[in-house]
Amino acid sequence: MFMDTFNLEPIGVIHTPYGQKFAVPRQPGLAAAVACEIELLPPYCDPQACIGLEGFSHIHVIFIFDKVEVDKFRPMIRPPRLGGNEKVGLFASRSPFRPSRLGLSVLKLEKVENRNGKTVLHVLGADMVDGTPILDIKPYIPFVDALPDAVGGFALEPPKLKQVAFTSEADALITKLKLDKASLIDILAQDPRPAYKGTEDDKPYFALLMGYNIKFTVSGEIVTVLDVLPAETATQQ
């Protein structure tokens, strides 16, 4: 039996608005307008390593779910798409609770920047917690990677988005703090609550986004942002 182990060294780290797993989009590209940065680390930050990459509109990003603890192999999981009730095989899902903890996302590449001798990739639509280690980057090649006849199993359509509203107090704080309101809408429209939650839910939730605790509720098809609190504010989900 093949039992070799491998030590993988991160080539970089991604900077995103997501301060915790809660509220991270469940798939890449769902919050498509959210800007993130991949900072390459020495020696991989050599600008020569990315020559030619700007010719591609999208990239494959291989990363590790470093915030996930996998104590043992579980062959069945409950994907959020099925409401958190029905089980499927682990390898029929994109669950982060994988034996290798490896993740793969396709992200839109906006530009490659040489910043003080280091290479920074500006990307859109990441689905990773801030500080996630990046293991590799490869260009997305449409004639190979785009498969128009592919079948999506139980995930045939994108999730339905909710409307996002703001109280006047929350709106004023977002303006005062110069937070990216459009990105907040993009993120919260995904409804980050656990999949088993119903449409009527009076419980307040807190998402650590953009360095602040965003307090919100969900009623029917509307997510309402109630307040913007300091990141260190103690909260309970």
What's the rounded Cα separation, in Å, for the pair 236 and 206?
8
Q: How much is the pLDDT for 85?
A: 79
Domain boundaries, the chain: 12-145, 163-230
Q: What are phi and psi of 165, to 5 degrees?
A: -120, 165
DSSP 212: E
Bridge-partner residues for 201, per DSSP? 218
Structure tokens at 237: 């989900």
pLDDT at residue 42 above 90? yes
Give 163-230's CATH code, choosing from 1.10.1060, 1.10.10, 1.10.3470, 3.30.2310: 3.30.2310
Please state the pTM of the whole predicted model. Answer: 0.91
Max CA distance (Å), the chain = 62
Q: How much is the pLDDT for 234?
A: 58
CB 208, CB 231: distance < 8 Å: yes
Q: Does domain 12-145 have CATH number 2.40.30.70?
A: yes
34 SS3 class:
coil
CA nearest neighbour of 20 among 184, 226, 206, 170: 206
**In this predicted model, what pLDDT tens digit does every residue of 100-136 receive, in sequence order?**
899 999 999 999 999 888 899 999 999 999 999 999 9
Q: Are strands 222-230 and 163-166 parallel, antiparallel or unpaired?
A: parallel
